[in-house]
Amino acid sequence: MTVDPRAALDRFLAALEAHYHAVSARRGDQDPAVDDAYDILADAFDVYAESLGRAHNEALPFDITDDEDDDDEDGDALYDVDKVPDEAFEDFEDEAADDGGATEDED
């Protein structure tokens, strides 16, 4: 079954709104409305991502993963610095070189 990407996007946006409203009206740590909105949002995202890929051969820049899929056993790191490409730091290194390593207070 092929889903129209525009319809899937509309459903995804509505799911984002519903999730926000559920979270903002949360009635405790274990509010089932928040859990339900989370599940609906995750499903709407998956449908949108799949329909976009099928219709336009395009992928989104992020993905939803299950807790079981996490490779980070200790839960401390948000990302593995060793896996970040060197290009990600080029702008920062260029700014440091342009400043000559000096701060504004130095004369």
Q: What is the pLDDT of residues 41-90, one digit of tens each?
A: 999 999 999 999 999 999 999 888 876 555 555 555 554 555 556 665 66
pLDDT: is 52 or 94 the higher one? Answer: 52
In the chain, what are the domain boundaries? Answer: 5-99
Q: What is the pLDDT of residue 26?
A: 96
pLDDT (0 to 100) of residue 87: 62
In this predicted structure, what is the pLDDT of residue 42? 95
Three-state secondary structure of 5-69: HHHHHHHHHHHHHHHHHHHHCCCCCCCHHHHHHHHHHHHHHHHHHHHHHHHHCCCCCCCCCCHHH
C-alpha dihedral sign at 62, 66, 71, 76: positive
Residue among 71, 52, 54 nearest 62 (CA): 52
Q: Name the percent of the chain lying above pLDDT 70.
A: 61
Averaged over 91-104, what is the pLDDT? 55
What pTM was estimated for this model as a whole?
0.61
